């Protein structure tokens, strides 16, 4: 019986650490737990973003689990451009879960999330229904939690209004692509909403689906997640009237058997999780070479252009092209062409040329210095022939890896180069790389101590016993001073909780120098 049940449910509504300071789950832990529970698929639906999507996809594929990539989106009550605080319902967007069925759906999901951040951001990245109608192809929608439009309609306006909401969403996403979520977390309001959701389904024929709105992997992680939400809000566990996640310690990855026990009268809604998973056929073209296009003069190929630049530069640098130099240039150009990186070399040479013309100091590091072609076209300043540098460290047919050209620009003028490539290739094809700021051991201890109400001096004393560059796990093993402090129960509790949040993403940022130039619109 248990074996059958294990194949009758998968989790579709799941938050990881990329639901910043809300989800406690590490991607690897989520996938490992789903594997241990014998679940054939797993969804990831972080709040408003796709930060973890690619790592999640890869981890699931490696584990033999079907990855279901989604987002719990924020939908503006009016339109995404409205930032007027006087607007009705302003600042309180509805939640809606979107899942990508296929690559088209994934592309639409990316476009929706991008527009929500670039056009609709007001406290949260918001999209609107007009955008959903434009980008609904390849998507499955779930009605979300108590903050979803359906749940709010049931609570605030009644079943007739909720039925209208369900019909509208079905019209947006199409028959068979919209489901009404049932959750059970021991919240009285949730149970009342569930009754309403069932009635809406009965009247409209929109199918039900069971989810658990996972925010942490194991039940015993509830307190740590509560602490993390306090870190986000700047409150302590003793703050009156705060949102107490610990009062609802049910947001963990339950087994299929546990979900069946919660919903004994909704077998169809449980089975629908698998039916949705079966509809998913998402294959991401990871690892494919997708270099941007570089325009060359009419009648020339990129290979012609690079050869012309290399030969002209060689004459300028060496005075004449000797047989030895000719052989080296021909060999390098042939390998560059064969590996498909001619356009890439031209792109890099072009923005380095721009920098030189503008008087912006540059420095190229790494294996690129071994190329005579790179030297001839002005990308590097060191003569590889003079110093016996070999091209094969840069590009090698026998051990093929993409070429590595590390380019440094003056810090106070780097933006000019970014602006140049943005204008040349288009703002929709150029983007700076995002970064994730994580909670290191000492910071985790201080954050958790504040939430627990510990005096700053005591928290600082504990934090300073942790050697720089080590994890809490290692520090608790290595530091005798820390082990002595841990004899106090409140310090042990502090360290136990800090260890659970250590290393999790705290915020996002922008890489100081990393820029993507894309062949297709990134948005």
Q: How far is CA 470 from the centre of its chain?
A: 26
- Token output for 248: 């609802």
Q: What is the 8-class DSSP label of residue 206?
A: P
Total residue length of the chain: 523
- Token output for 450: 């504040």
- H helices of 365-479, where? 372-376, 384-387, 414-425, 441-452, 456-463, 472-478
Indicate if the pLDDT at residue 55 is higher than 60: yes
Q: What angle do CA 54, 55, 59 make, to 5 degrees?
A: 120
Tell me whether residue 116 is in a domain: yes
pLDDT tens column, 317-350: 999 999 999 999 999 999 999 999 999 999 999 9
194 and 45, same domain (yes or no): yes
Q: How far is CA 96 from the centre of its chain?
A: 18
pLDDT of residue 84: 78
CA separation for the pair 7, 271 (Å, rounded): 9
- H helices of 413-455, where? 414-425, 441-452
**Average pLDDT of span 308-315:** 97
Weakest-pLDDT range from 289-293, 330-334, 340-344, 439-443: 289-293
Final residue in a domain of this structure, among 243, 264, 279: 279
pLDDT tens column, 261-286: 999 999 999 999 999 999 999 999 99
197 and 316, same domain (yes or no): no
Dump the DSSP string for 144-171: -STTBHHHHHHHHT-HHHHHHHHHHHHH
Place of tokens 């737990």: 33
414 and 311, same domain (yes or no): yes
pLDDT classification of 88: cutoffs 50, 70, 90: low
Indicate if the pLDDT at residue 89 is higher than 80: no
Distant-in-sequence, close-in-space partners of 274: CB < 8 Å, separation ≥ 6: 7, 8, 9, 10, 40, 41
275 and 402, same domain (yes or no): no
- Token output for 393: 């460290």
pLDDT of residue 186: 87
158 and 264, same domain (yes or no): yes
pLDDT of residue 3: 32
370 and 322, same domain (yes or no): yes
Q: Give the phi and the psi of residue 362 in degrees, each rounded to 5.
A: -130, 160
268 and 349, same domain (yes or no): no
* C-alpha separations of 330 from 210, 321, 334, 372, 393 in Å: 63, 11, 6, 10, 17
pLDDT tens column, 12-28: 999 999 999 999 999 99
pLDDT classification of 43: cutoffs 50, 70, 90: very high
151 and 51, same domain (yes or no): yes
pLDDT classification of 90: cutoffs 50, 70, 90: low
Q: What is the CATH number of the domain that holds 269?
A: 3.20.20.140
The average confidence (pLDDT) of the chain is 94
Indicate if the pLDDT at residue 2 is higher than 50: no
Most distant pair of Cα atoms in the chain: their distance = 86
User: 203: buried, middle or exposed (CB in 10 Å: 19+, 13-18, 0-12)?
Assistant: middle
Tell me whether residue 310 is in a domain: yes
Place of tokens 């699931």: 60
Split into its structural domains, the chain has a count of 2
pLDDT classification of 241: cutoffs 50, 70, 90: confident
**Average pLDDT of span 441-465:** 95
378: left (phi over 0), alpha (psi -120 to 50) or beta: left
Tell me whether residue 6 is in a domain: yes
Q: What is the 8-class DSSP label of residue 14?
A: B
pLDDT of residue 176: 96
User: 273: buried, middle or exposed (CB in 10 Å: 19+, 13-18, 0-12)?
Assistant: buried
154 and 67, same domain (yes or no): yes
Boundaries of domain holding 210: 2-217+252-279
256 and 349, same domain (yes or no): no
pLDDT classification of 201: cutoffs 50, 70, 90: very high
83 or 155: which carries more pLDDT confidence? 155
205 and 66, same domain (yes or no): yes
267 and 310, same domain (yes or no): no
Contact 214, 31 (CB under 8 A): no
Tell me whether residue 453 is in a domain: no
């Amino acid at each position: 019986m248990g074996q059958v049940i294990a194949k009758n449910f998968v989790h579709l509504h799941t938050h990881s650490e990329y639901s910043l300071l809300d989800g406690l789950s590490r991607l690897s832990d989520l996938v490992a737990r789903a594997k241990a529970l014998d679940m054939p698929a797993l969804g990831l639906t972080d709040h408003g973003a796709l930060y973890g999507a690619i790592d999640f996809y890869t981890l699931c594929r490696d584990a033999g689990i079907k990855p279901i990539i989604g987002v719990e989106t924020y939908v503006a009550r009016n339109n995404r451009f409205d930032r007027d605080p006087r607007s009705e319902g302003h600042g309180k967007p509805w939640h809606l879960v979107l899942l990508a069925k296929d690559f088209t759906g994934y592309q639409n999901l990316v476009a929706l999330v991008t527009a929500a951040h670039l056009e609709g951001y007001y406290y949260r990245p918001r999209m609107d229904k007009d955008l959903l109608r434009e980008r609904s192809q390849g998507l499955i929608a779930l009605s979300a939690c108590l903050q979803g439009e359906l749940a709010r309609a049931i609570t605030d306006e009644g079943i007739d209004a909720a039925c209208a909401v369900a019909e509208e969403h079905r019209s947006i996403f199409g028959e068979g692509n919209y489901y009404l979520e049932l959750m059970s977390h021991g919240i009285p309001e949730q149970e009342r909403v569930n009754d309403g959701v069932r009635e809406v389904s009965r009247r409209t024929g929109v199918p039900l689906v069971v989810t658990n709105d996972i925010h942490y992997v194991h039940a015993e992680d509830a307190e740590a997640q509560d602490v993390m939400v306090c870190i986000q809000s700047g409150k302590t566990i003793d703050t009156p009237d705060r949102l107490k996640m610990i009062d609802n310690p049910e947001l963990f990855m339950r087994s299929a058997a546990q979900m069946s026990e919660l919903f004994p009268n909704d077998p169809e809604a449980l089975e629908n999780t698998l039916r949705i998973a079966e509809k998913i056929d998402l294959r991401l073209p990871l690892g494919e070479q997708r270099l941007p296009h570089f325009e060359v003069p009419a009648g020339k190929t990129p290979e012609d252009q690079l050869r012309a630049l290399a030969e002209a530069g060689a004459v300028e640098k060496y005075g004449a092209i000797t047989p030895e130099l000719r052989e080296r240039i021909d060999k390098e150009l042939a390998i560059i062409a064969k590996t498909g990186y001619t356009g890439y070399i031209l792109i890099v040479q072009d923005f380095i040329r721009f920098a030189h013309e503008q008087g912006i100091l540059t420095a190229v590091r790494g294996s690129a210095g071994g190329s005579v072609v790179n030297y001839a076209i002005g990308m590097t300043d060191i003569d590889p022939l003079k110093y016996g540098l070999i091209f094969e460290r840069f590009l090698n047919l026998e051990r093929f890896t993409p070429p590595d050209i590390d380019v440094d620009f003056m810090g106070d003028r780097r933006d000019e180069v970014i602006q140049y490539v943005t204008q040349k290739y288009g703002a929709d094809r150029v983007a700076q790389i995002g970064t994730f700021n994580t909670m290191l051991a000492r910071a985790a201890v201080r954050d958790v101590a504040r939430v627990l109400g510990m005096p700053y001096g005591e928290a600082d004393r504990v934090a300073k016993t942790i050697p720089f560059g080590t994890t809490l796990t290692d520090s608790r093993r290595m530091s005798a001073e820390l082990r002595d402090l841990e004899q106090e129960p409140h310090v042990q509790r502090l360290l136990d909780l800090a260890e659970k949040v250590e290393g999790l993403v705290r915020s996002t940022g922008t890489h100081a120098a990393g820029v993507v130039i894309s062949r297709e619109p990134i948005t």
